[in-house]
Amino acid sequence: MSREDYEIVIGLEVHAELSTKTKIFCSCPTEFGGEPNTHTCPICMAMPGTLPVLNEKVVEYAVKAGLATNCEIARDSKNDRKNYFYPDLPKSYQISQYDKPLCEHGVVEIEDDEGNPKTVRLTRIHIEEDAGKLNHNEFGGGSLVDLNRAGVPLIESVSEPDLRSAKEAERYLRKLKSIFEYIEVSDCKMQEGSLRADVNVSVRKKGETKFGTRTEMKNMNSFRAIVRAIEYEANRQIDVLEEGGVIEQETLRWDDVSGRTFSMRDKEDAQDYRYFPDPDLVAIRLSDEYIEKIRKELPELPESRRKRYMEEFKLSEKDARLLTASKYLSDLFEKAEQITGNAKAVANWILSDISRILNEKELEADQIPFTAEELDKVIQLIEKGTISSAIAKKVVEVLFENPKDPEEIIQEKGWIQISDEGAILEVVKKVIEANPQSVSDFKGGKEKALGFLVGQAMKETKGKANPQMLNQMFKEELSK
């Protein structure tokens, strides 16, 4: 049998760090970074005798996430201890939720590989605390523990095994990320580990109804790595099965450098964790009023923004979808549109040059280093005729490297458009003289020759000549 006879099955467990000001069970700051062990207190360092108190904001944010993903919100919920030992977990258990998660039975809408709408089911969203970080000393000096992250609140969103390709998994994760960004429960900065996914992969023969045995790759925090890892792992499993082997249920580590997965440990079952209700915390009871209040306060979600962009700005469905796929892009669009009043131009810049550069540099939208004001300035400089759009593209490239006032950039680089008639006429005459063949082609009726001559003049002026004036003057000179 060949690879095409197999189907890939994927389920994701996505951890998002909540952007509450303080940790889940103490009042230490959740801020990323900081000197090791400075965002800590006796509670998150698990000193004996300390007691946790649940941060109400964590519940509110999790309910928001649940409502935005169409979950049922539990009126009755609780915290449980998940027992395991690891040096970054000072209590030797993690406070999580076991059988009574806050949110269940959600759905997230994505597109499948053919572009058709597809519903991915969310099993649950629960709250839990993050662990600390181990800094391994590569020179053999042991490992140092930093507990700044210990007790930072997380929501874990568990999907059903509904995903069927690496790209589909990527689209699902992007959608979930964008929803969390829109409702502002997490900054979802993957590079800082605010959003990370455990990726479960299995394969089965097409037409088979039972799922195959899955393997799990933990803590993945880049889209590119996730796609590569799923494709590698699915192929590895197919090879094993084709050779008559069996898949072991295990936890794997993806190595981005070698592009391979490695075995870490056998998979534990829920029973290994000896879950039990945390006796230090009271149960969580939510009233209908509380939930309805949060529902009413939910901000605009991507779907509704998309529709609004189509109506208000007359953008195509595709453009509106691309813009709203990321809250950062969408906010950049709205801010720049408000200043320029030119939705089309702003959308074009974001969807063509800016998106292209993001792709080339493998950056996410939240890593765009310049502001809406700076983008707006570029557009105004074109409208005023100070720079050509060819130069504007170069300005945007510079903005990515060294964001500052675009006017300063063009001054420094000497990129101001030449709109001086005398200077342009000089270039036009020079080009006409140097290209007698094109001149006679044009005079003989070949319109295309004009484009060539204009192009030559642009080259001559390094893209700085005003294109309308060039066209005009060539026509005048050639009709003499």
Binding site for Zn ion (CB under 5 A): 26, 28, 41, 43-44
Give the residue from 101, 26, 95, 15 showing the smallest Cα distance to 63.
101
Instruction: Give me the residue whose beta carbon is nearest to ligand ADP.
Output: 11
Q: How far is the CB of 124 from Mg ion (least distance, A)?
A: 12
Q: How far is the CB of 39 from Zn ion (least distance, A)?
A: 7
Query: Toward Mg ion, which CB reaches closer, 7 or 13?
Result: 13
Q: What share of the chain is helix, strand, coil (3-state, %, to 5)?
A: 40, 20, 35
- Partner interacting with residue 41 (select from Mg ion, Zn ion, ligand ADP, none; CB below 5-8 Å by kind): Zn ion
DSSP 8-state secondary structure symbol assigned to residue 265: E
- Partner interacting with residue 12 (select from Zn ion, ligand ADP, Mg ion, none; CB below 5-8 Å by kind): ligand ADP
If you search the block for the tokens 């004996």, which residue do you land on?
A: 48
The Cα–Cα gap between 364 and 336 comes to 19
Query: Toward Zn ion, which CB reaches closer, 26 or 346?
Result: 26
Query: Toward ligand ADP, which CB reaches closer, 11 or 153?
Result: 11
Restricting to residues 201-240, which ones interact with Mg ion according to CB under 5 A?
none
- Partner interacting with residue 10 (select from Zn ion, Mg ion, ligand ADP, none; CB below 5-8 Å by kind): ligand ADP
Query: Toward Zn ion, which CB reaches closer, 41 or 281?
Result: 41
Q: How far is the CB of 125 from Zn ion (least distance, A)?
A: 24
Q: How far is the CB of 118 from ligand ADP (least distance, A)?
A: 15
115 C-beta neighbours (distance < 10 Å), count: 7
* Local structure of 130: helix, strand or coil: coil
Q: How far is the CB of 6 from ligand ADP (least distance, A)?
A: 13
Six-digit token string for 288: 């209908």
Query: Toward ligand ADP, which CB reaches closer, 84 or 369?
Result: 84
- Looking at residue 172, its amino acid is Y
Q: 143 — phi, psi (to 5°)?
A: -125, 145
Q: How far is the CB of 202 from ligand ADP (least distance, A)?
A: 3
Distances (CA, A) of 331 to 64, 295, 306, 371, 376: 20, 22, 12, 10, 13
DSSP 8-state secondary structure symbol assigned to residue 461: T
- Partner interacting with residue 366 (select from ligand ADP, Mg ion, Zn ion, none; CB below 5-8 Å by kind): none
Q: How far is the CB of 14 from ligand ADP (least distance, A)?
A: 9
Pairs from 119-123 (Cβ < 8 Å, separation ≥ 24): 119/162, 120/159, 120/160, 120/162, 120/163, 120/172, 121/159, 121/160, 121/162, 122/69, 122/71, 122/157, 122/158, 122/159, 122/160, 123/158, 123/159, 123/160
Query: Toward ligand ADP, which CB reaches closer, 29 or 161?
Result: 161
Q: How far is the CB of 46 from ligand ADP (least distance, A)?
A: 23
Q: Which residues pair with 358 in a beta bridge?
A: none
Query: Toward Mg ion, which CB reaches closer, 13 or 109?
Result: 13
Six-digit token string for 452: 């060539």
Q: How far is the CB of 218 from Mg ion (least distance, A)?
A: 7
- Partner interacting with residue 467 (select from ligand ADP, Zn ion, Mg ion, none; CB below 5-8 Å by kind): none
Query: Toward ligand ADP, which CB reaches closer, 84 or 211?
Result: 211
In b/e form, how buried is each residue of 340-355, taking b as 16+ CB within 10 angstroms? bebbebbbebbbebbe
Helical ranges in 251-369 per DSSP H? 288-297, 302-312, 317-324, 327-340, 343-349, 355-360
Footprint on this chain of ligand ADP (rule: CB under 6 A):
9-13, 158-161, 200-202, 211-212, 214, 216
Six-digit token string for 153: 């609140």
Restricting to residues 441-460, which ones interact with Mg ion according to CB under 5 A?
none
Pairs from 304-313 (Cβ < 8 Å, separation ≥ 24): 305/330, 312/343, 313/337, 313/343, 313/344, 313/347
Binding residues for Mg ion, total number by CB under 5 A: 2
- Partner interacting with residue 214 (select from Mg ion, Zn ion, ligand ADP, none; CB below 5-8 Å by kind): ligand ADP
Restricting to residues 3-62, which ones interact with Mg ion according to CB under 5 A?
13
- Partner interacting with residue 106 (select from Zn ion, Mg ion, ligand ADP, none; CB below 5-8 Å by kind): none
If you search the block for the tokens 């069927």, which residue do you land on?
A: 164
Query: Toward ligand ADP, which CB reaches closer, 223 or 333?
Result: 223
Restricting to residues 166-205, which ones interact with Mg ion according to CB under 5 A?
198
- Partner interacting with residue 28 (select from Mg ion, Zn ion, ligand ADP, none; CB below 5-8 Å by kind): Zn ion
Q: How far is the CB of 135 from ligand ADP (least distance, A)?
A: 26
Query: Toward ligand ADP, which CB reaches closer, 162 or 353?
Result: 162
Residues of this chain that bind Mg ion (CB under 5 A): 13, 198
